Amino acid sequence: MSDFIFFTTTIIKCILVLAVFAALPGFATFLERKALARIHRRVGPDMVGPSGVLQIVPDMIKLFTKEDITPYLANSKVFKFAPLISTICVFMAFAAVPLFPEFKLFGYVIKPIIADVNIAVLYIAGCSSICTYAIFLGGMASYNKYALLGGARALVSIISYESISGLCLLAIVLLTGSMSLVDVNNYQHGGILSWLVFKQPIAFVLFTIAIFIETNRTPLCLAENDPELVAGYGTEYSGLRWGMFFIGEYASMMLGAILINLLFLGGYNDFYFIPGAIAMFLKVCLIFSGYFWARGAFPHLRADQVMRTCYLILLPLACINLIVTALLAL
């Protein structure tokens, strides 16, 4: 493949990733509201379009036309830049994620990954870590005590649970011998019994819990607290700046669902008679729906419960799992 074709295909991949994962959050909100309505025996959106499917249109109009306010005493530069960090870092992480198996188009082999780097796991962990600072910077720059408390509370919880997800990723790297997500996927090509969820069940559970924390999802989210009448770190944000946080959060949820599938559930390998691309899509949709189910089914935990669970239960389990995995790998 010539340098021109490689450069062109890479640019097209970047545009497609940005277009798809920036547009999906709007539709995901509709699905979440319908799912929560069904769980709580409510109606949900039903008046705009068939079954309310066009509800996202007035929502987007309201979002784009809402006045963008910057608090008078806020640090305006940091306040305006924080939402961009949240979104940019998530889309940067998608660069090292394989979305589907490779295929041929016009005689050329197309790999549905922007950059197959051999340190993909480390790269994605670094990008997701930077996202956490967007939350804290947004709350700190708002000159609002509720936003500051929400940002600090979220930062502490995310950093704590990142240690758990990091230990789980180390166990996967020790087992597969590679940091490339393509290699991790290929390691599970031998059928359902070769899926890492059966070899690393503890890491699967711990990593899933950590993903809920890192994507600010109920019931483990500390960025917004139910007893408060404010929106945590985003209390002072409105309009498109709030929308950037919103897009970053839902893009992080999609990234988390894809990572869980690639790391533990066979990735884009064929599943019996189901082709790999379709199997990948179905499994990611199933994982993504788990976010909605958990939000509708479980109560919001207190901050002390979340942190106590992290340091007294989950972190020791992650360390023991890593030590056992290392001994078995030797």
163-220 pLDDT tens trace: 999 999 999 999 998 899 999 999 998 888 899 999 999 999 999 999 988 888 888 8
Q: Which two tokens stand for residue 312?
A: 């007294």
**Within a domain: 46:** no
Count the domains in the chain.
1
d(CA 224, CA 24): 23
**Within a domain: 9:** no
Q: Is residue 144 scored above 80 in pLDDT?
A: yes
At residue 266, the 3 state secondary structure works out as coil
Partner residues linked to 23 by β-bridges: none
Domain that holds residue 177: 70-101+114-329
d(CA 197, CA 192): 9
Local structure of residue 51 (DSSP, 8 states): G
What is the rounded average pLDDT of the residues 56-84? Answer: 86
**Within a domain: 269:** yes
- Cβ–Cβ < 8 Å for 127, 248: no
Mean pLDDT of the chain: 87
Q: What is the DSSP string of 305-321?
A: HHHHHIIIIIHHHHHHH
Written as one letter, the residue type at 38 is R
**Within a domain: 83:** yes
Alpha-carbon distances of 147 from 109, 114, 237, rounded to whole Å? 49, 36, 10
* Alpha helices per DSSP H over 70-114: 76-93
Q: Which two tokens stand for residue 118?
A: 């051999």
Partner residues linked to 105 by β-bridges: 108
| Amino acid 282: pLDDT | 93
d(CA 102, CA 182): 11
**Within a domain: 218:** yes
Comparing C-alpha atoms, which of 224, 296, 288, 209 is closest to residue 250? 288
- Cβ–Cβ < 8 Å for 188, 196: yes
**Within a domain: 16:** no
Q: Is residue 22 scored above 90 in pLDDT?
A: no
4 band by pLDDT with thresholds 50, 70 and 90? confident
Between CA 313 and CA 320, with CA 318 as vertex, the angle to 5 degrees is 95
| Amino acid 226: pLDDT | 66
Q: Is residue 279 scored above 80 in pLDDT?
A: yes
Written as one letter, the residue type at 194 is S
Q: What per-residue string of b and e applies to 89-124 under the rule 16 or more CB within 10 Å gives b?
A: bbbbbbbbbbbbbeeeeeeeeebbbbeebeebbebb
What is this structure's pTM?
0.92
